[in-house]
Amino acid sequence: MSLPVIEFRYLAQIYSPFSGIPAGLDDEGVDHEDPTLLFVYSGMGSAWAYVSPRFPTELTRFIDNLEPDEVAESLEIDAGIMLVVDTDWNGIDYYAFAPADSDIRFAEGVEFTGSAAQLPQEA
């Protein structure tokens, strides 16, 4: 099962629902010390601002070739959540969070090809 997604429009700072720590994407950057922050994808720059070292190496090697929704579909993360935040003129940003002690594993059927994750085909 992929990460549950919550979409909303919001112009202020995003905070982790698990730790209460700000997720960043401001002048100070992303808080790399928050163990509940899994990733931040900046829609304005179409780039990964942060990817947690908790992610499997097979995924992080190819992260630049993946979109946030593909990452969310590729992993099963206990109690994890992805926030899709419309920041108006700055585009849409993606944040994923999970409790610090949650398990992160590949979703059933996910395989890695030469340069990216291959998701299971719908029947």
Residue 60 — very low, low, confident or very high, per pLDDT cuts 50/70/90? confident
Question: Is the residue at 123 inside a domain?
Answer: no
pLDDT of 121: 58
How far is residue 77's CA from residue 32's CA, in Å, rounded to a whole number? 19
Domain extent for 92: 5-110
Question: Is the residue at 119 inside a domain?
Answer: no
pLDDT of 116: 53
Average pLDDT for residues 3-18, to the nearest whole number?
A: 92
Average pLDDT, the chain: 84
Question: Is the residue at 29 inside a domain?
Answer: yes
pLDDT of 2: 73
Question: Is the residue at 118 inside a domain?
Answer: no
Question: Is the residue at 117 inside a domain?
Answer: no
Question: Is the residue at 26 inside a domain?
Answer: yes
pLDDT of residue 53 exceeding 60, the answer is yes
pLDDT of residue 80 exceeding 90, the answer is yes
Average pLDDT for residues 18-28, to the nearest whole number?
A: 79
In 10 A of CB 96, how many CB atoms? 26
pLDDT of 117: 54
Question: Is the residue at 67 inside a domain?
Answer: yes
Q: Which element (helix H / strand E) includes 83?
A: strand 81-86
Question: Is the residue at 75 inside a domain?
Answer: yes
Residue type, 115: S
Q: Please state the domain count of the chain.
A: 1
Residue 20 — very low, low, confident or very high, per pLDDT cuts 50/70/90? very high
Higher pLDDT, 123 or 63: 63
Q: Which residues contact 17 (CB under 8 A, 6 or more apart)?
A: 81, 97
Q: Which residues contact 47 (CB under 8 A, 6 or more apart)?
A: 41
Residue 32 — very low, low, confident or very high, per pLDDT cuts 50/70/90? confident
